[in-house]
Amino acid sequence: DHHGRVARALGEGGLPALDIHTAEGAACLADTQWACHFALANREAIAARALDVLEDALGVAADPTSVVDVHHNHVAQEEHGGRLLWVHRKGAVGLQAGQRGLIPGSMGTASYVVEGRGEPRAFRSCSHGAGRVLTRAEARARIRPAALEHVLRRVVYDKGRAAALVEEAPAAYRDITEVLEDEADLVRPLLRLTPLAVLKG
């Protein structure tokens, strides 16, 4: 919010922006990098706790080489077309050719481990999920907790939070199979994952 206000105050034209060669722009980039590092540490902490529980319950050690970590909604400096650019991905992730990623469906539908194809026309990007067809407000207005409970009958989740979770109902998202078909030139599906349990913070 702070950097948005600064950009609106200093920016020129219809799209508020900050010049990275100014103190304000450098501060925005530094804070963005700090937030990305914090988010990575948070994901790693959650994964470590989840793996401890799973390893204990299943009696099997996790394979550390199978970790797939994908961040989204970030800014990174990358080379594209022989130029060094700042790339902002919103609703997308960057995957190099051969790099593994995860494209989630919804709480009640499949998600996929994918391999990036490194398509240069898409700046080596792909979607970071199925994508919404209903806004959160529309989902809350249209989807009843009983309908969510029915569609998630085979998934473990906190049923006491059903009223709050309707905004994440499968009906609020695009069909993940269609999404993968639409971006077949961006990623190759490797593994289909079906949800068994959902933890929504």
pLDDT tens, N- to C-terminus, the chain (201 residues): 999 999 999 876 678 888 889 999 999 999 999 999 999 999 999 889 988 998 999 999 988 788 898 887 888 899 999 999 999 998 899 999 999 999 999 999 999 999 999 999 999 999 999 999 999 999 999 999 999 999 999 999 999 999 999 999 999 999 999 999 999 999 999 999 999 988 876
Which residue(s) pair with 78 in the sheet? 85
pLDDT at residue 72 in the model = 77
- Has 128 been annotated as catalytic? yes
Q: What are phi and psi of 72, to 5 degrees?
A: -145, 170
Tell me, yes or no, whether 49 and 74 share the same domain: no
Rounded-to-10 torsion of CA 150, 151, 156, 160: -50
Tell me, yes or no, whether 37 and 90 share the same domain: no
pLDDT at residue 50 in the model = 87
> What gap in Å lies between CA 77 and CA 94, rounded to an integer?
11
Tell me, yes or no, whether 86 and 111 share the same domain: yes
Q: Which of the residues 21, 37, 128, 150 is marked catalytic?
A: 128
Ramachandran assignment for 197, one of left (phi > 0), alpha (psi -120 to 50 degrees), beta (any other): beta
Tell me, yes or no, whether 119 and 133 share the same domain: yes
Tell me, yes or no, whether 82 and 46 share the same domain: no
Q: How many domains does the chain have?
A: 2
Structural domain including 173 reads 68-201
pLDDT at residue 201 in the model = 62
pLDDT at residue 71 in the model = 84
